[in-house]
Structure 1
């Protein structure tokens, strides 16, 4: 079942991307899905998802990104190809603390057939100014086949740069 984000955000989708109901495209647990119809390859469409939740623990963004690797590892093989902290100059609208960008290579199956995918994940945190122990973590993810990546990666970067916390969040 689709979820809602713990904070309100705004963003712009690059040209060629279309929003889709998460439950209808097999993406339960996320709040938003965008598909890139022009990239369909062997039945797989490159996509962007947005998910998020409140955290009241002391986990770092790097640890939270690691949780994603563990979760994905339950469905196949996962290799982290890049992981780095990014600061506020790259993401000025959403966070005052460093986020994490992580790239993954996934080997899984779809309908019994082997499937190789890549993901670019961005984890952003937004602290509650009244309760410092509370923070929202927003996860922005691009998933594509390796052959689709050159066509959609710049769009994902543009999308990430457009993400902003709505006033009053």
Structure 2
């Protein structure tokens, strides 16, 4: 996926979360990254956003499955804990939760990833539809503590009009 979002979005970070440069923060291939102010056992919870144009109507299930397959390339014991369609026919969305183990630096961590997939119509060109993925990655121990922040963040995400200069 490209590092730029296919459609402009606006959103508000939860209190205390800090936006970081995705590349220097180790989150390659995403358009936006933020980190929680408190690490847990040497791992810092993070929120990322990425997306791509996907014209097919049944895209969210496919993209969610692609995410699971990609994660299996670098993580151990990837388990799909939950996957549900949410939203409406006009604004479809899908959520999934994955658990896995991964080496971060020299330490192995048990992690949880909560992913929200949104089908977003481009405000500037309503014929264009994109799939946007919002991801929260945390340690298993910290997940329940920061999940409400992520849910609050997701509620603020919406399409934005492009600004031409």
Same fold flag (TM > 0.5): yes
Match of residue 45 from structure 2 = 46
Number of residues of Structure 1 aligned to a counterpart in Structure 2: 160
Q: Is the 8 A contact 1:47 1:144 kept in 2?
A: yes
Given that residues 33 and 49 in structure 2 are in contact (C-alpha distance below 8 angstroms), is that contact kept between their aligned partners in structure 1? yes
Contact 2:121 / 2:159 at 8 angstroms: preserved in 1?
Answer: no
* Partner residue in 1 for 2:37: 37
Higher percent of residues as strand: 2
Q: Give the structure 2 partner of residue 166 of structure 1.
A: 160
Q: Distance in 2 between matches of 1:125 and 1:168?
A: 18
For residue 33 of structure 1, report the CA deviation from its aligned partner.
0.5
Q: 1:51 aligns to what SS in structure 2?
A: strand
- Structure-1 residue corresponding to 2:115: 121
Deviations 1:47-103 (A, max 9, x none): 000011112345431111010000001112210111000114xxxxxx933110000
Report the Cα distance in structure 2 between the residues aligned to 1:127 and 1:165, rounded to whole angstroms: 7
Aligned to 1:110: 104
- 106-115 or 3-12: which moved more? 106-115
2:70 is matched with: 71
> TM-score, normalised on structure 1?
0.86
Deviating more after overlay: 2-11 vs 157-166: 2-11
Is residue 96–residue 126 contact of structure 1 (8 Å, CA) maintained in 2?
no
Indicate if the aligned counterparts of 1:102 and 1:121 stay in contact, CA closer than 8 A: yes
> Structure 1: which 5+ runs fail to align?
89-94
Per-residue deviation, 1:105: 0.2
Q: Aligned with 1:16: secondary structure?
A: coil
| SS across alignment from 2:43 | coil
Query: Is the contact made by 2:43 and 2:104 (CA closer than 8 Å) also made in structure 1?
Result: no
TM-score normalised according to structure 2 size: 0.88
CA shift for structure 1 position 12: 0.6
Unaligned runs of 5+ in 2: none
